[in-house]
Homo-oligomer: A and B are copies of this chain.
Amino acid sequence: MSRFRSLLSLLPLLAVACAAPATDRRPERPNLVVLFADDLGYGDLGCFGHPIIRTPNLDRMAAEGTRFTQFYSASPACTASRYSLLTGRLAARSGFAWVLVPSSPRGLHAAERTLADELREAGYATAAVGKWHLGNRPEFLPLAHGFDEYLGLPYSNDMLPPRWPPIPPLEGDKEVESGPDQSTLTRRYTERALSFIDRNRDRPFFLYLAYAMPHVPLHPGAAFAGRSPRGAYGDAVEEIDWSVGRILDRLRRLGLAERTLVLFTSDNGPWIIKGLDGGSAGLLRDGKGSTWEGGMREPAIFWWPGTVPAGRVERAVASTLDLFPTALELAGRPLPEPGRGRNGAVLDGRSILPLLLGRGAPEDRPFFYHGPGHVLHAVRLGRWKLHLKTSSQTGKEYFEGRVPLLFDLERDPSETRDLAAEEPEVVARLTALAAEHEREVAEHGSFWDRG
């Protein structure tokens, strides 16, 4: 009888073991590679519907991985978006400007914990390559924030003379050149990324590759310039596609594909005021700098052969804020408290591992759109998006600038039909969520503001 009881006591454990699906046999501490384009539009890849730009490597990445159709950057601007990707925190908590310039006094605060800090402590080799844009003083640079190595430009490729000094490529935190030929950047970044992968093939690694392109001024490499019928913008995107192809090929050839999660996405939407030197948000409204969908919804592809299902399309809402907790879960470094970093800082994302594994969406949670100056512009919950403020770099006042505006983003992805008058209860619910969020953000200010 006691034997029978002890067998019985094992049953729950057996049930758990049997319920664990095959994909839980995924490798421990997988590598993480984040490939981050600059100002790429939602509609600018072949697999997201562009008719002209050739992206065979990204299309293959999507065929071998999962394409997200409602994936957001955390901000429609470069600096703020990058802060959120690396810290898992909304840039309204950063304590610094929406877009940093070379003379900005602030940058990434010493007390912030980045994904690189976390993964390095978990035993990962870490490298940042490309655009940083979180402060250009040494204490703000990648080496001070968890990265073992860095090669890149500390800010945007359009911050140039005569207003600014010649752009300084850095190796670590040392200036190694002045005013480089920008057409070499994508190639050099790619070579550095490949070298980092080669050198760390035998241990877990985190590679953060933030391309300079297709941000203006467009400088595609010599092998790409003048090749795309879409013009210089197409050339720059096609060179990034080439770069992605080389990196995935290297992972395959080194036998690392099945233990590397790769994310390709962009920091914000297309810079449409640049005309044909800017990209296209496809069927989405507006672009960079705006909290209309075109400003923040990005093409996104997750790739991890054997773990992330091939050829899937994921339509759940997710964002770059989710990368931080997802990567920590994969690295086996759970946080002491959900929604809080190891430094006590508020985290705004959550793990999307179930989405990556194709196991369905977690329950709805709000997504917040912050516009210029980190001002809350809009909130999304499920299919509903409420605009409390709107702005566009084009100067256009869609809907005569009227707010609030309510859209059903699934029925109406192009934000054409305002339903605020028809759905007062939804407006009230989202308005309350927004007010609560603003209070919470005001309460949990930046490390800078704590003195």
A residues whose Cβ falls under 8 Å from a Cβ of B: 43, 46-52, 54, 59, 63, 69-70, 229-231, 234, 275-276, 280, 282-283, 297, 311, 313, 315, 383, 410-414, 416-417
Contact = CB atoms under 8 A, between A and B. Distances in A.
Contacts of A69: 51-52
A49 B48 contact: yes
Contacts of A280: 283, 413-414
Q: How many copies of the shown chain assemble into the complex? A: 2
A286 to B, nearest CB: 13
24 contacts: A43-B49, A49-B50, A49-B282, A50-B283, A51-B69, A51-B70, A51-B283, A51-B297, A51-B413, A52-B413, A59-B313, A63-B311, A229-B315, A229-B410, A229-B411, A230-B413, A234-B411, A275-B416, A275-B417, A276-B417, A280-B283, A280-B413, A282-B282, A283-B283
Nearest to A71: B51
Report the 9 A-B pairs with minimum CB-CB distance, sorted nearest first. Answer: A49-B49, A229-B410, A51-B69, A231-B411, A280-B283, A48-B49, A43-B283, A282-B283, A52-B410
Contacts of A47: 47
A367 B374 CA distance: 49
A313 B63 CA distance: 14
Contact of A410 (B43, B230, B283): B230
A313 B383 CA distance: 32
Given A52-B69, A69-B52, A283-B283, A313 B410 contact: no
Nearest to A60: B311
Given A63-B63, A410-B229, A411-B276, A283 B49 contact: yes
A51 to B, nearest CB: 4
Contact of A313 (B46, B70, B416): B46
A382 to B, nearest CB: 10
A50 B47 CA distance: 10
Q: Which of A50, A52, A311 gathers the greatest number of chain B CB atoms within 10 Å?
A: A52
B313 A43 contact: no
A238 to B, nearest CB: 13
A379 to B, nearest CB: 19
A47 B63 CA distance: 11
Contacts of A411: 229-231, 234, 276
Q: Which of A47, A54, A413 gathers the greatest number of chain B CB atoms within 10 Å?
A: A413
A413 B414 CA distance: 18
A366 to B, nearest CB: 18
A252 to B, nearest CB: 18
Nearest to A297: B51
A234 B383 CA distance: 15
Nearest to A49: B49
A93 to B, nearest CB: 29
